[in-house]
Amino acid sequence: PVLVVDFGAQYAQLIARRVREASLYSEVVPHTMTAEEMLAKQPSAIVLSGGPSSVYAEGAPSLDPALLDAGVPVFGICYGFQAMVGAMGGTVEHTGLREYGATEATITDTNSTLFNGQPDQQSVWMSHGDSASKAPDGVRVTATTPGAAVAAFEDDERKLYGVQWHPEVMHSTFGQRVLENFLWRGAGLDADWTPGAMVDELAAQVKETIGSDRAICALSGGVDSSVAAALVQKAIGDQLTCVFVDHGLLREGEAEQVEKDFVAATGVDLVVVDAKDRYLEALAGVSDPEEKRKIIGREFIRVFEQAARDIVADRGDEQHPVKWLVQGTLYPDVVESGGGTGAANIKSHHNVGGLPDDMQFKLVEPLRALFKDEVRKVGLELGVPEEIVWRQPFPGPGLGIRIVGSVDAERLDILRRADKIAREELTAAGLDRDIWQCPVVLLADVRSVGVQGDGRTYGHPIVLRPVSSEDAMTADWTRVPYDVLAKISGRITNEVSEVNRVVLDVTSKPPGTIEWE
C-alpha cells in the first residue's frame, strides 16, 4: 500500500482518498507507529501528512530518519515536508511570516518530476507558520512562495519529495497532478487500484476469511449494505443469505428494487420477511419520534433474529452453521474509531446494532477499506443497479419518521404517493446529484382549508426538505429552481387528493435537522 502517515492533521484521510483517486491503494497509519512497523507493511510509497504543530513545539511528532533511508519513495506535505527538511539536514525556521489560505507559488522548474507540464505560477493552499529557509543538501528546490523560500524540493535519486502546501485540497489548483506525479513518476507506481482489481482483491479476502462457513446480511436497500452483500455473494455464492425486512416504511418502488432488480443483478439468495402488519401494529398511536425509532429498531431485531434462526434451521447443516454477519462499514468510520485497516478485517461482535447476546456472529466488513466513492465504483463493477448505487441517504426508520404524528397505513400511502412525485420531478430536472437528500414530510395532524374545483377542502400539508450537504453534519437548503418546485407542488396537490398544500423548508442545519423528526 501507499502509507499515509497521519501527523495529526485533519487532512490525512483526504490525502488517502486522493491517493485512491490516483488509482493506488492507500492506508492511513498514525505517526506513533514505529518506522519498523511501517516498513513491515511493505509500503510502495509513503506520504507524510500535514499536522497542527510546529516542528519545534514541545512534543511535536518526530520523523524517524530510518523511513527516509529505506529506499521507499517519500512525499512530505506541509508539516511532513518540514519534518523531512529537518531530518535531511536543512533548516526550518520560525520566520514570523505566516501563510494561510490561497497563495501563489512560483514553480522554478516546470520539467521536474512533480511539476512536469504545469504552469510556472499556480494557486496553492497554505497553512503554516514555520518555513524551510535552507534546503537539505543535494536536493533541488523547485518552488517558492512569498513566505517560503523553499516551498518544494525534489531528490530523484533518493526518491524524496515534498511541498510546503496542501496538494490534497481542491484549492490547490494542480494539487492532484502534483500528487499523481509523485506516485506515478517519482515513485514509479502503476495505477492498479481499479474497480476490477478492488472487487477481485476484496472478494478473495472475504473468501479466505469465511471459508466454507455460512454468512448472513441484513439488506436495507441502501448503498453500503447492498454493495457489501453483492461483494460477499461474489466471494462465497449461496453460502450467503440476505435478509430483507420489509417494514412497510420504504418509499414507492424500493422494496421491489431490492426484491427483484438487486437479486436479478447479483444473484444473492434473499429471504424477504413481510413485517408490514407487525410494524403497523407496533407503531399504532405512537407519535413521539424517539419512541418510534425505538419501536422500529426493536422490531427489526426481533424479525431479523427469527429469520436468522429459520435460516439456521432450514439451510445450515451441522457442519456449517451461520457464523458470519456481513456489515457495510466504511473506511472513514474505521479511521475515526482508530481501528486497523486490513481490507476485509474481522472482529468478534456480540452486540451488533443491538442484536441480542445469544446471537454471536463474527463480523465481516468487506468495505472497511473503502471510501464512499469507491463503494459506488465497486457496486457498479458488481452490477448493482444504478438506482441503488447512487441512492441518496435514507434513514433506517424510513417514512416512519417522515410522518409528523402517528403512523398508519393510510398516512403512509399519502406520503408515499407525494414522495414519489417529488422524486420523479427532481430526477427529471437532473438534480439528483446536486441534492444530498430530500425528505418529503407529511404533517399528518395539521389540516388547512383549501379550495379545489368548486369545493372547500380540508387537507394536509406536505413539506419539501431538499438539502445540500457533504456529510449530513451540516446542511443548507437547496435552491431548487422555482419551476421545478411549481411542478412538484402542482402535481402533488392534483394527484394526491388528501394534500392541499405543499410548503418548502428553507432552514439550514443547524438550527434545523435534515429530518423533521
Please identify which residue in 173, 437, 489, 493 interacts with ligand XMP, judged by CB under 6 A.
437
Q: In terms of Cα–Cα distance, which of 229, 200, 202, 396 is closest to 324? A: 229
Please identify which residue in 1, 397, 400, 461 interacts with ligand XMP, judged by CB under 6 A.
397
**Rounded to whole angstroms, what are the CA distances from 67 to 35, 452, 468?**
6, 75, 42
- Kindly state the smallest distance separating residue 221's Cβ from ligand XMP, in Å: 12
* Residue 514 interacting with ligand XMP (CB under 6 A): yes
Q: Please name the residue ranges forming H helices in 56-171.
A: 79-87
Please identify which residue in 393, 449, 452, 506 interacts with ligand XMP, judged by CB under 6 A.
393
Stretch that binds ligand XMP, among 256-264, 277-285, 366-374, 509-517 (CB under 6 A): 509-517
Please identify which residue in 51, 175, 395, 466 interacts with ligand XMP, judged by CB under 6 A.
395
- For residues 465-484, which are near ligand XMP according to CB under 6 A? 472
CA atoms of 216 and 496, how far apart (whole Å): 39
- Kindly state the smallest distance separating residue 396's Cβ from ligand XMP, in Å: 3
CA atoms of 500 and 494, how far apart (whole Å): 8
Binding mask 54-93 for ligand XMP (x = CB under 6 A): ----------------------------------------
Stretch that binds ligand XMP, among 68-76, 85-93, 264-272, 390-398 (CB under 6 A): 390-398
Is residue 247 flagged as an active site residue? no
Q: Which is nearer to ligand XMP, 221 or 316 (CB)?
A: 221
Q: Which of 27, 31, 128, 166 is catalytic?
A: 166
222 is in an annotated binding site: yes
Stretch that binds ligand XMP, among 159-167, 355-363, 395-403, 405-413 (CB under 6 A): 395-403
* Residue 289 interacting with ligand XMP (CB under 6 A): no
448 is in an annotated binding site: no
**Quick one: CA torsion of 52, 55, 56, 61, rounded to 10 degrees?**
80
Stretch that binds ligand XMP, among 132-140, 164-172, 207-215, 391-399 (CB under 6 A): 391-399
221 is in an annotated binding site: yes
Is residue 242 flagged as an active site residue? no
Stretch that binds ligand XMP, among 7-15, 312-320, 394-402, 498-506 (CB under 6 A): 394-402
Q: Cβ distance 143 to 105 under 8 Å? A: yes
Q: Which of 27, 99, 154, 168 is catalytic?
A: 168
| DSSP code per residue over 415-436 | HHHHHHHHHHHHHHTT-TTT-S
* Residue 396 interacting with ligand XMP (CB under 6 A): yes
**Quick one: CA torsion of 356, 351, 198, 430, rounded to 10 degrees?**
80
**Rounded to whole angstroms, what are the CA distances from 350 to 219, 323, 356, 359?**
19, 12, 8, 7
Question: Would you state the cell numbers that stand for residue 504, as one nine-digit string?
Answer: 418548502
Q: In what order do the strands lie in the sheet with 269-274?
A: 269-274, 240-246, 214-219, 322-326, 361-364, 346-349
Is residue 154 flagged as an active site residue? no
- Kindly state the smallest distance separating residue 218's Cβ from ligand XMP, in Å: 12
- Kindly state the smallest distance separating residue 326's Cβ from ligand XMP, in Å: 17
CA atoms of 91 and 199, how far apart (whole Å): 46
Q: How far is CA 217 from the centre of its chain?
A: 20
127 is in an annotated binding site: no
Which phi and psi (to 5°) does residue 145 adopt? -135, 170
> What are the beta bridge partners of residue 246?
274
Catalytic residues: 78, 166, 168
Binding-site ranges for ligand XMP (CB under 6 A): 293, 393, 395-397, 437, 472, 509, 513-515
**Which segments are annotated as binding site for ATP?**
220-226
